Amino acid sequence: MAAHSGSHFYFLPFVLFANLYIRGKSYTINNFLARLRAGDQDAFRTLVDDYRAKVFNTAISMLQDHGLAEDIAQEVFVTVFKSVLSFNERSSISTWIYRITVNKCLDHLRAKNRQKRSGFLNMLFTKEEQPMYDQPVFDHPGIKLEQKENARYLFEAIETLPDTQKTAFILAHIEELPQKDIADIMNMSVKAVESLLQRAKVNLRKKLADVYDRRKMNEVTSKNIGDGK
């Protein structure tokens, strides 16, 4: 599922080749890393320009919140800047940045779930009313207008998946990464990724079938009301 937008910020195609073309010059990966590690601001600016769309798109798909996705994107590049000296080069720069992004999103989702559980327990043991955590309707900014309704239902279903299934599905079907890259990002085998994707698809089919049934019921109800039945 590839979404596109007129804005240059969303879904910009970028592939990290063996050589990078930077400001009219060709640099090898090692040379580029050396510049990053030396604190070269032009090199870091290039890295941000090349990856900010990927980081933001991954974050907004996982968090379903525009403001939070922007905050996470900033955090990711601050972490990259601070950690580039310890980057071990056992994975590609792309894999490393995706892994940081996914981990920060998962940390936020876990904290959010802890907050929900805490609110529920407080409600059980106190008389104070706790705020309800209704999931707001989410429209991905990179989705074409004519696809927004279907995408809305898909993201609602994605939100119900366990974190590992959600991560694998988003990386595979929204970011369109190969399973080998997803395995590297998630620190697991390709077979484990395949299993996660299969389970995610089964769960999404069930959820979307329920959504379809509800939509049909609502259409029938609306028609009956309109006909005065």
The DSSP string of 134-154 is PPPP---TTS-GGGHHHHHHH
Beta bridge partners of 14: none
Distances in Å between the Cα of 204 and the Cα atoms of 26, 72, 104, 189, 195 are 44, 26, 24, 23, 14
Average pLDDT over every residue of 22-26: 40
Residue 30: Cβ within 10 Å count: 9
| Encoded amino acid at 208, one letter | L
| pLDDT tens readout for residues 128-164 | 555 544 555 667 766 666 677 888 889 989 999 999 9
Question: What is the SS3 assignment for 88?
Answer: coil
Taking the CA atoms of the chain, what radius of gyration do you get in angstroms? 21
In a domain, 156, yes or no: yes
Question: Which range is least confidently modeled, 3-7, 94-98, 145-149, 207-211?
Answer: 3-7
Residue 151, pLDDT score: 84
Residue 158, pLDDT score: 94
CATH of the domain at 102: 1.10.1740.10
Q: Which is more confidently placed, 15 or 73?
A: 73
In a domain, 10, yes or no: no
Residue 163 has phi, psi (to 5 degrees) of -55, -45
Identify the DSSP state of 129.
Answer: P
In a domain, 2, yes or no: no
| Encoded amino acid at 229, one letter | K
In a domain, 12, yes or no: no
Structurally, how many domains does the chain consist of?
1
Residue 216, pLDDT score: 64
Element (H, E) at 20: strand 19-22
In a domain, 11, yes or no: no
Q: Is 102 a residue whose pLDDT tops 90?
A: yes
- Tell me the C-alpha distance between 37 and 31, whole Å: 10
Inter-axis angle of helices 190-226 and 148-158, nearest 10: 130
Residue 90, pLDDT score: 85
- Tell me the C-alpha distance between 59 and 68, whole Å: 8
Identify the DSSP state of 171.
Answer: I
Distances in Å between the Cα of 48 and the Cα atoms of 22, 55, 189 are 12, 9, 29
Q: 77: which residues sit within 8 A by CB, 6+ positions away?
A: 47, 48, 51, 52, 55
Answer for the pair 62, 167: CB distance below 8 angstroms, yes or no. Answer: yes
Range of the domain at 156: 19-226
Answer for the pair 97, 53: CB distance below 8 angstroms, yes or no. Answer: no
In a domain, 9, yes or no: no
In a domain, 3, yes or no: no
Average pLDDT over every residue of 75-90: 92
- Tell me the C-alpha distance between 185 and 92, whole Å: 10
In a domain, 220, yes or no: yes
Residue 14, pLDDT score: 31
pLDDT confidence tier of residue 31, bands split at 50, 70 and 90: confident
